[in-house]
């Protein structure tokens, strides 16, 4: 019942925004309500109304007036000041404003790039110079100079893998003398979209085959990269395997005996359950699920993707984990763009690259707004104890955006629990956050559809609270009033027992209470309807 009423309320909601030449249809206690406000609500409801009588302009106008009176009452008793209401509205504002914080053109480009990078794999190697988490400008310059010199050495003839093995701070590039593991010299093999952090992926697909990239930065530090190859992706496959962890000749003897059983038509799944040392997959008959090239160690990936037909299985082969036999279960080639578009967009919205869309919006806003940084107030950034500065000393304006002034105190609140980044980086983040906040606060002035929808929800939520207080709670808790209503209408219910028809009686009692309440609201309000504008509406819609 309550949900139905709230939906009805939302559909009846109106807007405070009217065209300049809009005529006044109703005046309630001096407040003017325009023709366009009513038309917006009426037309919105037309599709949901299934009979001509309910489409009556006059009847809908009466419902509209009742609604306006209820909303007016909700504001008069300050239901809009309730903490629960404020929290709900703040959550809704964030949800409603989210699409306006996205650059749709930019997102479309990200989707197209993601598809290309899903369909085409890149093979690359890299060298990494790490930076401290809270890197100072000096740390950044030191790391950049170091990686730049390594790039110069490779351009002057040194082998990329040799420099990577000696100087890269990615440990996988170096030999591990303790375990005997040989380093990869920075080789990452083939990869595609969403496999690496976005700046790394972007650099890989932007560097030409055979070239050494300029230094670029990720969350790990500075990198240089050499691209070795591009190729069409084989998509993904589903596979199963049998693993014998013993990598010695003894283990080879066991895997060879299993291979012979497979050749003699024994079931792969049964053999996996019986012999495989992979505890994670053996219970499922060795099934590994879906994966793409490069997701597994290279010998495994090569063996799996070399299988041509479903249910083919490989000869025994060895990886650092031991001896394997792999079986191809199913191939999943890359789908068409139209088939993948929706999933790629959803994946992008969940990934870090979505921040780039927001960044594009911020950059656009920076060109439209007058933004001033107050250098004198910014000197607090040099104070190592800035989070402990007293509130009274933080009232100077640190940034202004158009006519809005933002104090030092707001900045300190923003960074108080953010200690993982350098303070100057936090200031840049704070400034961008404030630009977006200003933009969201002004959406009601710049985006009419946003303003309409927000007002609808705002009034609808208020009316829900009001109905709960005035009607629903009262009807369920006022046992004396309910009994009296039943006694006065017992003939209608054809029973002398309230319990037998309690649900129906409560609903009818709510209608009774609301009717009387509306009558009281109308008595204490001065309502004037423009007969001229009402006649025009009736003529326009052809529904009296």
Distance CA 331, CA 311 (A): 11
What is the helix (H) or strand (E) element at residue 323, kind and residue range? strand 322-332
- For residue 8, what pLDDT is reported? 42
Nearest to 474 by CA among 502, 510, 517, 508: 510
- Cβ neighbours of 174 (radius 10 Å): 19
Nearest to 207 by CA among 222, 191, 190, 228: 228
Name the phi and psi angles at 530, rounded to 5: -75, 110
- For residue 187, what pLDDT is reported? 93
- For residue 5, what pLDDT is reported? 43
Please, are residues 306 and 296 in contact by the beta-carbon 8 Å criterion? no
Each residue of 195-217: b (16+ CB within 10 Å) or e? bbebbbbbbbbebeeeebbebbb
Nearest to 237 by CA among 298, 319, 326, 318: 326
Q: What is the pLDDT along the chain (544 residues), one digit of tens a residue?
A: 444 444 444 444 443 343 446 899 999 999 999 998 888 888 887 767 767 777 888 999 999 999 999 999 999 999 999 998 889 998 898 889 888 888 888 889 999 999 999 999 999 999 999 998 777 788 899 999 999 999 999 999 999 999 999 999 999 888 777 766 788 899 998 999 999 999 999 999 999 999 999 999 999 999 999 999 999 999 999 999 999 999 999 999 999 999 999 999 999 999 999 999 999 999 999 999 899 887 898 899 999 999 999 999 999 999 999 999 999 999 999 999 999 999 999 999 888 888 888 888 899 999 999 999 999 999 999 888 888 899 899 999 999 999 999 999 999 999 988 877 788 889 999 999 999 999 999 999 988 889 888 988 999 899 988 888 888 887 777 788 888 888 888 878 877 788 778 888 888 888 888 898 999 999 999 999 999 999 999 888 878 7
Residues 295-317: tens digit of each pLDDT: 898 899 999 999 999 999 999 99
Q: Which residues contact 132 (CB under 8 A, 6 or more apart)?
A: 139
- For residue 501, what pLDDT is reported? 84
Name the phi and psi angles at 540, rounded to 5: -65, -45
- For residue 4, what pLDDT is reported? 40
The DSSP symbol for 209 reads: T
What is the helix (H) or strand (E) element at residue 290, kind and residue range? strand 287-292
The SS3 assignment for 176 reads strand
- Cβ neighbours of 10 (radius 10 Å): 17
Distance of CA 213 to the CA centre of its chain: 32
Distance CA 213, CA 215 (A): 6
The DSSP symbol for 132 reads: -
Burial class (CB in 10 A: 0-12, 13-18, 19+), 39: middle
Q: Which residues contact 297 (CB under 8 A, 6 or more apart)?
A: 319, 320, 321
Any idea which residue has 């969350």 for tokens?
A: 219
pTM of the model: 0.59
Distance CA 498, CA 103 (A): 60
Name the phi and psi angles at 176, rounded to 5: -105, 105
């Amino acid at each position: 019942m309550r949900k139905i009423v709230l939906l009805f309320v939302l559909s009846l909601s109106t807007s405070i925004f009217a065209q300049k030449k809009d005529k006044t249809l109703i005046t309630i206690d001096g407040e003017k309500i325009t023709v366009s406000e009513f038309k917006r609500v009426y037309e919105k409801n037309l599709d949901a109304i299934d009979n001509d009588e309910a489409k009556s302009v006059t009847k809908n106008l009466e419902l509209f007036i009742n609604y306006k009176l209820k909303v007016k009452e909700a504001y008069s008793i300050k239901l809009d000041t309730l903490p629960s209401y404020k929290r709900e509205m703040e959550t809704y504002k964030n949800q409603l404003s989210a699409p306006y914080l996205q650059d749709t053109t930019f997102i479309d480009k990200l989707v197209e790039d993601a598809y290309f990078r899903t369909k085409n794999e890149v093979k690359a190697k890299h060298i990494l110079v790490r930076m401290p988490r809270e890197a100072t400008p000096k740390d950044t310059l030191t790391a950049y100079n170091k990686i730049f010199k390594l790039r110069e050495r490779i351009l002057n003839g040194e082998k990329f893998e040799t420099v990577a093995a000696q100087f890269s701070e990615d440990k996988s590039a170096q030999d591990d003398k303790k375990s005997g593991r040989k380093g990869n010299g920075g080789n990452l093999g083939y990869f595609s979209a969403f496999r690496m952090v976005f700046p790394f992926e972007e650099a890989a697909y932007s560097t030409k085959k055979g070239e050494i990239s300029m230094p670029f930065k990720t969350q790990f530090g500075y990198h240089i990269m050499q691209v070795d190859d591009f190729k069409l992706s084989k998509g993904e496959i589903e596979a199963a395997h049998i693993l014998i962890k013993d990598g010695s000749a003894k283990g080879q003897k066991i895997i060879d005996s299993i291979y012979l059983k497979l050749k003699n038509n024994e079931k792969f799944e049964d053999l996996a359950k019986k012999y495989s040392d992979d505890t994670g997959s053996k219970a499922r008959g060795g099934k590994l699920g879906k994966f793409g090239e490069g997701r597994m160690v290279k010998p495994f990936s090569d063996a799996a993707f070399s299988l041509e037909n479903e249910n083919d299985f490989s000869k025994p082969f060895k990886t650092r984990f031991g001896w394997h036999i792999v079986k191809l279960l199913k191939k999943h080639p890359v789908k068409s763009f139209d088939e993948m578009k929706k999933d790629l967009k959803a994946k992008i919205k969940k990934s870090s690259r979505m921040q780039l869309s927001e960044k594009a919006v911020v950059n656009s806003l920076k060109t439209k707004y007058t933004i001033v940084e107050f250098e004198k107030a910014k000197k607090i950034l040099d104070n190592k104890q800035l989070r402990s500065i007293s509130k009274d000393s933080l009232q100077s304006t640190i940034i202004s955006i158009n006519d809005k002034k933002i104090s030092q105190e707001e900045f300190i609140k923003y960074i108080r629990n953010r200690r993982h980044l350098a303070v100057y980086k936090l200031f840049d983040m704070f400034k961008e956050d404030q630009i977006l906040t200003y933009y969201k606060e002004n959406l009601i002035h710049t985006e009419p559809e946003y303003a309409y929808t927000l007002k609808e929800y705002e009034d609808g939520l208020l009316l829900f609270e009001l109905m709960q207080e005035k009607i629903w709670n009262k009807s369920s808790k006022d046992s004396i009033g309910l009994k009296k209503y039943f006694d006065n209408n017992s003939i209608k219910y054809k029973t002398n027992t309230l319990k037998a028809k309690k649900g129906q009686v409560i609903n009818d009692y709510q209608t009774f209470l609301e009717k009387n309440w509306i009558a009281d609201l109308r008595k204490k309000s001065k309502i004037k309807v423009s007969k001229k504008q009402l006649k025009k509406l009736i003529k326009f819609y052809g529904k009296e």
